[in-house]
Amino acid sequence: MVDHVRPTTRNTSPDIRRPRGDWRALGAGLVAALASAMLTAGMSVVVPAGPAGAATTTLAQLAATRDKQIGVALAPDRLTDPAYRNIADSEFDHVVAEDAMTWAATESLRGSFTWSAADEIATYAATSGKALTGHALVSPTQVPAWVDEITSTDDLRAALREHISAVVGRYGDQVEYWNVLDEVFAEDGNWREDSVFQRLDNFYWMEEALYAARAAAPNAKLCVNDHGTEAIRSKATALYNLVLQYQARGVPIDCVGFQTHLAVNGVPDTLQENLQRFADLGIDVRITELDIRVPVPASPADLRAQATDYRRVFQACLAVTRCTGITVWGVTDRYSWIPDALPGQGAGLLWDEGYAKKPAYDGVTAALLDTTNPTFTSPPPTPSAPGPGPSPTVTSPAPPSGCTVTYRDITWNRGFIASIRIGNDTTSPVHGWTLTFSLGVGQRVSHGFNATVTQSGAQVTARNVGHNRTIGANGGAQSFGYQATQTGGNPAPTSFALNGRPCRTA
């Protein structure tokens, strides 16, 4: 059984927090400028050592001076390779299992768990004093065959809860971040239609997973992790809107992970802005699976370009206060997933197949040394729905009904999910409620949740169900939602009436 001791996530020794040595006297900005110029010229950057006898400065030490974590994905069977393990030991302060903690790896038969590989990573993290990320509790692409064969929604939810409770419960407070949901969106921002979860339980299973993880790990940070969300585009915006809706409804969500599997010269221009807009919602953001592939055999020019790309990714995270860390997806090109999955591509990591540092390592070093990186301040975000925070002061008098309706939605190409909160601003409770409003052209309700929702023409009528019949006085509230199709534009309703009386909209 793993010793569930939360590892130290920062090295706070004086030699790391306040580096000494003549090279620091040059000033971090000058060092970074020289490093950048050397990279451009195709030269290698050597991080100068401290006083005689001091160890060479590592990536983990440099990252600690910037208050960031730098992590690595590990495979337990590779830890017997001395060179692999030595790099993991010295260069990183955070680890994640490549696949050893996935559902497919831990519960190939229902109720029968295999812990050896996951335990090895957890034990390594604990004994080496590194923080640990749990990856991934529910990924539609990494479930055992028996999950795909489930035919009942209730049984699927039960299996999900049982799995999360067992895995999260085993590793306890040792895990700092859990990737609870992984790769839930299709490339166009719609839900993955090839998922057993989507077939049987629409989008509800995702909330079920987050609530189950919170119950099992009240102190861990719960994350949604996905690929292809690094740039501001439809898929990233769908993820952004999902976070907005979860926050509005109190669903536990603490961070978003951006996998960042990139091709050389493919760092999105909007990466930093995208990270910042998520951070502005009050959550952590993390680069979780970084690699930058090049055509193989790699040319010197491509390796220089790769170094520049690594530097840009790190600079983007460094400029966003709530970007708490970056994890590279492997130690060495020798064991990378890329050549098998993408023939003709590879060489995506910081060490080559012979464990020699590549220019990409120098690119990371240059970014970490450059303390002139400005903190990015974005303009106020323009979400499709209001973000969290206090409501603005309303100077107009409240309508006679004394109700306030808050509307939020998640929109994709062919549909949307709406979440509606009804607030009671009066001193008397409401016993039994009906909310009416109108939808636009092309918007059709398919089903509701936490209410009976029907549509006749443009008008929608939502009636309470048994458990939410009463809206308490003096700010009491009830929430419900619905899923609908839409043909474009997807305007929000402009007015609502509670039991026939108009409400204010927030």
List pLDDT tens digits, range 440-466.
Answer: 999 999 888 778 999 999 999 999 987
Same fold, 14-369 and 403-505: no
Of residues 375 and 12, the one with the higher pLDDT is 375
Q: Which pairing describes strands 444-449 and 415-424: parallel, antiparallel, or unpaired?
A: unpaired
* Four-residue CA torsion sign, 343, 344, 345, 350: positive
* Residue 119, CA distances (Å) to 37, 77, 477 in order: 44, 12, 44
Highest mean pLDDT among 171-175, 345-349, 483-487: 345-349
Q: Which of 20-34, 102-116, 245-259, 445-459 has the highest mean pLDDT?
A: 102-116
Task: Give residue 69's pLDDT.
Answer: 98
Percent of the chain with pLDDT over 70: 83
In the 8-state DSSP scheme, what is residue 470?
E
What is the pLDDT averaged over residues 189-202? 84
Structure tokens of 281? 């919602």
How sure is the predictor about 8, in pLDDT bands with cuts at 50, 70 and 90? Answer: very low
Return the structure tokens found at 430.
């409401």
Q: Per residue, what are the HEC states of 150-207?
A: CCCHHHHHHHHHHHHHHHHHHHHHHEEEEEEEECCECCCCCECCCCHHHHHHCCHHHH
| Predicted local confidence at residue 26, as pLDDT | 31
Quick one: pLDDT at residue 417?
81
289: annotated active-site residue: yes
- Report DSSP letters for 228-268, one per residue: S-SSSSHHHHHHHHHHHHHHHHT----EEEE--EEETT---
Q: How high is the pLDDT of residue 56? A: 64
Q: Higher model confidence: residue 182 or residue 388?
A: 182
Contact in structure between 405 and 504 (CB atoms under 8 Å): yes
Would the pLDDT of 221 be above 60?
yes
pLDDT tens readout for residues 130-157: 999 999 999 999 999 999 999 999 999 9
392, pLDDT greater than 90:
no
What gap in Å lies between CA 131 and CA 92, rounded to an integer?
Answer: 10
Q: Which of 91, 98, 176, 289 is catalytic?
A: 289
> Residue 487: what pLDDT?
87
Nearest Cα neighbor of 177 from 237, 211, 225 is 225
Size (the chain), residues: 506
Cis peptide before 297 (omega within 30 of 0): yes
Give the pLDDT score at 3. Answer: 35
What CATH architecture is 14-369? Alpha-Beta Barrel (3.20)
What confidence tens digit (pLDDT) does each residue in 17-66 have? 222 233 223 333 333 443 444 444 444 444 433 333 334 689 999 999 99
Residue 348, pLDDT > 60, answer yes
The mean pLDDT value for 371-377 works out to 52
Band the pLDDT of 401: cuts 50, 70, 90.
low
Whole-number Å distance between alpha carbons of 409 and 485: 12
Find out whether 462 and 452 touch, Cβ atoms under 8 Å. Answer: yes
Span 85-114, average pLDDT = 98
Q: What's the confidence (pLDDT) of residue 466? A: 77
CA angle 433, 434, 440 (to 5 degrees): 150
Residue 190 pLDDT greater than 60, yes or no: yes
**Domain coordinates of the chain in residue numbers?**
14-369, 403-505
Distance (Å, whole) CA 472 – CA 474: 7
Cα gap 27→18, rounded to integer Å:
13
Q: What is the mean predicted confidence (pLDDT) over 467-484?
A: 86
| Domain range 403-505, its CATH number among 1.10.10.10, 2.60.40.290, 3.40.50.1000, 3.40.50.10800 | 2.60.40.290
Pick from 193, 132, 259: nearest CA to 412: 193
- Quote helix, strand, coil % in the chain, to nearest 5: 35, 25, 40
User: What average pLDDT does range 315-321 have in this prediction?
Assistant: 97
- Cα separation, 184 vs 317, in Å, equals 23
Do the Cβ atoms of 423 and 403 come closer than 8 Å?
A: yes
Look at residue 395 and tell me whether its pLDDT is greater than 60.
no
One-letter identity of residue 293: R
Asked whether 263 and 292 are in contact (CB, 8 A), the reply is: yes
Looking at the predicted structure, is the pLDDT value of residue 195 above 90? no
- 175 — pLDDT class (breaks 50, 70, 90): very high
